[in-house]
Amino acid sequence: MPAPTFLALGDSYTIGEGVPENGRWPVQLVARLHATHVELQAPRIIATTGWTTDELSAAMDEAGLHAGYGLVTLLIGVNNQYRGRASAEYREQFLALLERAIALAGDARRVIVVSIPDWGVTRFAEGRDRAAIADAIDAFNAIARDEAQRAFARWVDITGISRTAGAADAMLVDDGLHPSAAQYARWVEAILPQAEAALKEQKRS
């Protein structure tokens, strides 16, 4: 029986802006699962730096996706926040993306929603209102968490990791904004248990 397939949906944080391919967190997640003898195919990543919810949706339209993924992850919204887009719009568009993710997985329990990290702690945010950024990130994450839990999808909060570690030089790439492979490794530690649980659901179905 072939290994389950993996679809990772998102933006710069999922494509791993500034890190090599093996440093991207979806790729690291597969490697960690393989290390514990859990099978999962290499991720299909639909993500580009700068994408908002509607831009991800448009890319999914073009991607020719079909249901049957063993695992789907969704991390989107930082660019909505950065561009000052309304939270009500984010809720509507995020929910539509989540519903598509669930349809592609065939089971909400095989979908993992990952929280938006707080870029306000990074060097890139120097001179900006870091508290306001944190508040906005929290508001968008509350929406994503609410919709994920309402749909019985899995929720992983990596925002605290980004706030604790995200200001350190070793935790960022050269642009002073995006996480390094080392920070993504910490995210994977948080995501791994939910991925293992999701793949057990895949075996049962």
Interval 101-153: pLDDT, tens:
999 999 999 999 999 999 999 999 999 999 999 999 999 999 999 999 999 99
- Domain extent listing, the chain: 6-204
Superfamily of the domain at 6-204: SGNH hydrolase (3.40.50.1110)
The rounded distance, in Å, linking the Cα atoms of 110 and 69 is 8
What pLDDT does 202 receive? 61
What integer is the mean pLDDT of 51-73? 97
What pLDDT does 187 receive? 98
pLDDT greater than 60 at residue 205? no
What pLDDT does 204 receive? 59
Contact indicator for 137, 118 with CB cutoff of 8 Å:
yes
Residues β-bridged to residue 180: none
What pLDDT does 95 receive? 98
